[in-house]
Amino acid sequence: MYEGVVQDLIDELGRLPGVGPKSAQRIAFHLLQAEPTDVRRLADVLIEVKARVKFCSTCFNVSEDDQCRICRDERRDPSVLCVVEEYKDVVAIERTREFRGRYHVLGGAISPIDGIGPDQLHVKELMPRLADGTVTEVILATDPNLEGEATATYLTRLLLPMGLRVTRLASGLPVGGDLEYADEVTLGRAFAGRRAAQ
């Protein structure tokens, strides 16, 4: 244990995803030794990102405006909607250049152990987007792990009775991992080879 504000810094860093106690200490001591201007730049960008970046009111993608760039882009195909767990999945799919439709970001996946059910995700906001018949295909691009599978199964049962084409990414993605960790070629292929969900 360290004193006062140094320990506060280690505690805060340790709350970040993927940062264990040892890494938190290492980052804290790095910051203590760094130039004040470098640390100030990091602090400024942290404050600015929280002040400026919001979530798109339509798809919950990260956005600096009310609607994100993809929702505003009229060249995107309005008939295909790709449902993903997180914003970083949008980034991964955009990199493949395989998809020209729009997105819906759930904000996570169903995980009973963590107390996350459909109500904790942006599922209810998905329904109005499918109501007017513009969207004819929904691609479920959840992560290839237990929670992602559970989420896709839940959504398939919800969407199929609405008469929509519901598809899943082709297999071949690394099982148990995150969508974002798949390389562009593999993810692009999984997109192109998507199959009907059942």
Using CB under 5 A as the binding rule, whether residue 61 contacts Zn ion is answered as yes
Using CB under 5 A as the binding rule, whether residue 90 contacts Zn ion is answered as no
Is residue 97 within 8 Å of 187, Cβ to Cβ?
A: no
Return the range that interacts with Zn ion (CB under 5 A); candidates 1-9, 40-48, 50-58, 154-162.
Answer: 50-58
Using CB under 5 A as the binding rule, whether residue 56 contacts Zn ion is answered as yes
Is residue 87 within 8 Å of 61, Cβ to Cβ?
A: yes
Interface residue with Zn ion among 58, 96, 151, 167 (CB under 5 A) is 58
CA dihedral 14, 150, 90, 176 (to 10 degrees): 60
Query: What are the beta bridge partners of residue 137?
Result: 80, 165
Return the range that interacts with Zn ion (CB under 5 A); candidates 15-23, 70-78, 107-115, 142-150.
Answer: 70-78
Q: In this structure, what are the phi and psi dihedrals at residue 85, rounded to the nearest 5 degrees?
A: -80, -50
Return the range that interacts with Zn ion (CB under 5 A); candidates 49-57, 93-101, 142-150, 183-191.
Answer: 49-57
Which CB contacts under 8 angstroms, 24+ apart, belong to 40-47?
A: none
Using CB under 5 A as the binding rule, whether residue 83 contacts Zn ion is answered as no
Positions touching Zn ion (CB under 5 A) are 56, 58-59, 61, 68, 71
